[in-house]
Amino acid sequence: MDLKELRHKIDLIDEEILTLLNRRVEIACEIGKYKQERGMDAYQPDREKEVLERLLSINKGLFPNKVLKAVYREIMSASLLWEEPLKVCYLGPEATFTHQAAEEKFGESAAYISSTSISGVFQKVEDGEAIYGIVPIENSAEGVITHTLDLFIDSDLKICSELILKISHNLLSNNQLNEIKRVYYHPQSLAQSRIWLENNLAEVEYVEVSSTAEAASRASKENGAAAIASLLASEVYNLKVIIRGIESGRENYTRFLVIGREISAPTGSDKTSVLFSIKDRVGALHDMLTPFAENGINLTKIESRPSKTRAWEYIFFLDLQGHVEDELVKMALSELRKKCLFLKVLGSYPSGS
């Protein structure tokens, strides 16, 4: 079979794919009407996880699972346009890692709004300007973002989903490496890329800015300048990727939370986040955690914060495996409620990967 015949076969397959994609959107429209009539949210993380896991499990061909997942995220994102336009707020500006996480979660078809602060993301969702928000909660190298935790204390928003994003720093510029005279950086990106920079760009000027996106923006306007930023920033600010992955040490990941108004339905592989407060006394925390051990519930994270209203009271943030509708989780939380000063369920949602 010659090249022309092979390409003709590809053309026919593409036509079939296009027909099926349009048929999928037609059915998505019907689903959208069904949800609207019953007051259901258009975006449902449990269904998203079910679709992706099913496709990955039946994929036995040459198409890579990682790419398949990305393709279907965009397909589902485009389908949601016909159900209900998704407005998503992220910690900005444009081309930050939080923006990148938002696009990985919701696809390019969502309508994105940026906020200059994490509290601003919460506010826009609470005010109805956005349906969902996405905020960072912890980084494998730098630890927990305590400001995000504190905002959950007074907010009625729920955690709907989570995403774990590998953070990779790249050297972006429109000049060659040997032409670079100045590097714009955010302190975290500099700290995580210091070894490569000392070995390769020790003599240049370094200028601190407020975000990796601002670094890219400045580098794009200046001859001889470079930025440490994401691949998304290279697209947004039309910069060339000079060197990929200049970070050093162990792999660096950031966990992001999707916040909204509803708790997600159970998937069978869920995580629940709660906060509770206790008086500071000997054995208090042990007493609070006993119900989880007695019910065989695995705790994946615990963080403490001092109460901002009363001295010597502490608020604990807890992640556990399971859904708030699971019987064992219900029993454990019921026991915890009897022991602590107050208890708040922040959300049950599909475990990220």
Q: Check residue 312 and give its pLDDT.
A: 63
CA pair distance 230, 198, nearest whole angstrom: 20
CATH architecture group of domain 170-243: 3-Layer(aba) Sandwich (3.40)
Q: Strand locations in 116-154, DSSP E?
A: 132-139, 143-144
Q: Check residue 274 and give its pLDDT.
A: 98
Q: Is the dihedral of CA 58, 63, 69, 73 positive or negative?
A: negative
Q: What residues does CATH 1.20.59.10 cover in the chain?
A: 3-166
Q: Check residue 353 and give its pLDDT.
A: 65
What's the fold here for domain 264-350? Alpha-Beta Plaits (3.30.70)
Q: Check residue 299 and give its pLDDT.
A: 97
| Dihedral angle computed from the Cα positions of residues 282, 283, 287 and 290, in that order, rounded to the nearest 10 degrees | 170
Cβ distance 176 to 278 under 8 Å?
A: no
Residues pairing with 226 in the sheet = 173, 183
- CATH class of this structure's domain 3-166: mainly alpha
CA pair distance 127, 299, nearest whole angstrom: 33
Cβ distance 216 to 96 under 8 Å?
A: no
Cβ distance 214 to 114 under 8 Å?
A: no
Q: What residues does CATH 3.30.70.260 cover in the chain?
A: 264-350
Residue located via tokens 């159900």: 83
Q: What residues does CATH 3.40.190.10 cover in the chain?
A: 170-243
CA pair distance 165, 236, nearest whole angstrom: 19
CA 172 to chain centre: 23
pTM: 0.85
The DSSP letter of residue 326 is S
Q: Check residue 161 and give its pLDDT.
A: 94
- The DSSP H or E segment spanning 172 is strand 170-173
pLDDT string in tens for the chain (353-residue length):
889 899 999 999 999 999 999 999 899 888 888 888 887 877 888 888 889 989 999 999 999 998 998 899 889 888 877 766 789 999 988 899 999 999 999 988 899 999 999 999 999 999 999 999 999 999 887 889 999 999 999 999 999 999 999 999 999 999 999 999 999 999 989 988 999 999 999 999 999 998 999 999 999 999 999 999 999 999 999 999 999 999 987 788 999 999 999 889 999 999 999 999 987 777 788 889 999 999 999 999 999 988 777 766 789 999 999 999 999 999 999 999 999 989 999 999 999 86
